Structure 1
C-alpha cells in the first residue's frame, strides 16, 4: 500500500491539472471586408451581406473547411485600410502592387471580368473614343473613376482621372456630363446601367481595356494568413467539380464568360 500511494498522488495531480487548464480557444472567425453596393459582387440584401464574392468565400471556408466567415460591407477605400491596419483579415479583389505591400494574394481567380469603356451615347467625340484600340489611345480623354480603385491608381497615373466617392456615383456623374468615359466591367457595369435606367444615356464599347482576376488577399498582419493556399486548393476543386456554376447563375452570369 505504501508503494502505491505516490502513483495515486501523481495521477490525482495530473487530473487536477487537466481540469484546471483553460479550455482550448475556438478558431477565430475569418473577418473579410467587401465593397458596399457593388451588385452582383457584394451588397446588402435584407440586412445580410450577399454577392458572388461573398457566397464563394462562404462556400469555401464555411461549407468545405468548417470555418466561420464574418463578411462585412464598407466603402471600398475604408475596407482596404482596415486590412492594411490589421483590423480585418482580407478581401477578394484584383491584386495590385500597392496591395501586395500589405497583403498576400492567391493565384486561383474567384471571378474573371473584362474591362470596357463606357461613354455617353450623345458624346460629341463618340466616334473618336470608339476608334481606340487600347488603353493608351484613351489618354486624350478624361476618365471618371472612384476612390479605392486600385487598378486606376496603378494604371491611370498619367491620365486625367476624376474620382467620385464610389462606383455608383462615378456612373451617375458620367451620365450627367462629368468626364468623357468610365472603365467598367460587365459584371457591375451592366447591372447598374439597368438599375439606374441609364441604358439609353450610356453605352459600353466593345474594346477590352484589361481583364480582371478577383482573388483572395489576406493581410500580412492577419493571424489567418496561412489559409490562403488552402482557399486556392478548395477553389480549384470546386472549379473542376462544376460546383462554382450555380453561384454564378444565381446572379445571372454564365460560367463560360466569367470563370
Structure 2
C-alpha cells in the first residue's frame, strides 16, 4: 500500500474519532433583556451567564459555543423544541421534561421582598420573614419567570410582559410587593428606582440556576464533565470574580 493511501486512511480514521460536537457549536438561548446576567449592549450579547459559559465550555472544555439572545418566552420555546441546545435557568418541573439538568448549580443566590418606599404597609412588611405571611398581598412579576410562577402559585400576582415594567408598576402601588434577587436589586438602581423602592431585610428563598440541555441534543453527554468544571470554577473563585465584574 502506498504512503499516500496510508495517510488518507489515517486522516479518515482520525476524523471519525473526533467528538460529534466538534463540527457544530452548542447553541445557547438567553433572555436578551436580563442585565447583568444576559443582555445586549452595542449589538453584542454579554453578561454573567455568557462569561461563565465561555470560561467553562470554551476555555476549560474546548467546546465551541454560539450565544443567542431572545425574549425569554421564545428562548425557552427554542430549547424545548430543540432549535437551541441549552439554557441556564431554574430547572422547573416543566423544563425537566425536555432537558437534562446539571447536578452542580451555575449560580446560587437568595431572594428578598421589595416594595414601594412610600407604601403605607412598609412597617408591617419589614417584619415579614416568610412567604406564608403574604397571602393577603398582591405581587407583580413578568411572564416567563418559571421560578416565580411556581413560588407564587398560591398568591395573587399581576403578570406583566416585560420585566422592566414591574418596577414602575410597584412604584405606582398597583401591587404590594415583588420578589427580587441581587439581579433585581441591580435593576432597581439601573432603572432609577433606588429612592422609590425599598428592599426588605429578610431573605425569602434560595435559588439555583443550572445548565439545562435539550434531551435530544448531541451535547447532552457533556453534563458530567461540565459538573466537574463548574465546581472547580466555584472552588477557585472564578464564578465570584465574574459576578463582581458586573455588580
Pairing 1:137-152 to 2, within 5 Å after superposition: 137-152=133-148
**1:61 maps to 2:57:** yes
Aligned residue for 2:227, secondary structure, equals helix
Q: TM-score, normalised by structure 2?
A: 0.89
CA–CA separation in structure 2 for the residues paired with 1:158 and 1:73: 31
Q: Residue in 2 aligned with 1:195?
A: 190
Q: TM-score, normalised by structure 1?
A: 0.85
| CA separation of 1:15 and 1:36: change in aligned 2, threshold 3 A | same
Q: Residue in 2 aligned with 1:240?
A: 235
CA–CA separation in structure 2 for the residues paired with 1:16 and 1:86: 38
Preserved contact between residue 143 and residue 161 of structure 1 (Cα < 8 Å): yes
**1:129 maps to 2:125:** yes
CA positional deviation for 1:124: 2.0
CA positional deviation for 1:95: 1.8
1:27 to 16, 23, 44: 23
Q: Residue in 2 aligned with 1:77?
A: 73
CA positional deviation for 1:86: 0.7
Aligned residue for 1:245, secondary structure, equals helix
Q: Residue in 2 aligned with 1:3?
A: none
1:213 to 208, 216, 220: 208
CA–CA separation in structure 1 for the residues paired with 2:126 and 2:194: 17
Pairing 1:42-53 to 2, within 5 Å after superposition: 42-53=38-49
Aligned residue for 1:148, secondary structure, equals coil
Deviations 1:70-90 (A, max 9, x none): 111111111111111111111
CA–CA separation in structure 2 for the residues paired with 1:177 and 1:157: 21
CA-atom RMSD in angstroms: 2.4
| CA separation of 1:16 and 1:113: change in aligned 2, threshold 3 A | closer
Structure 2 unaligned segments of length 5 or more: list them.
none
Report the structure number with the largest CA radius of gyration. Answer: 1
Structure 1 unaligned segments of length 5 or more: list them.
1-7, 253-259
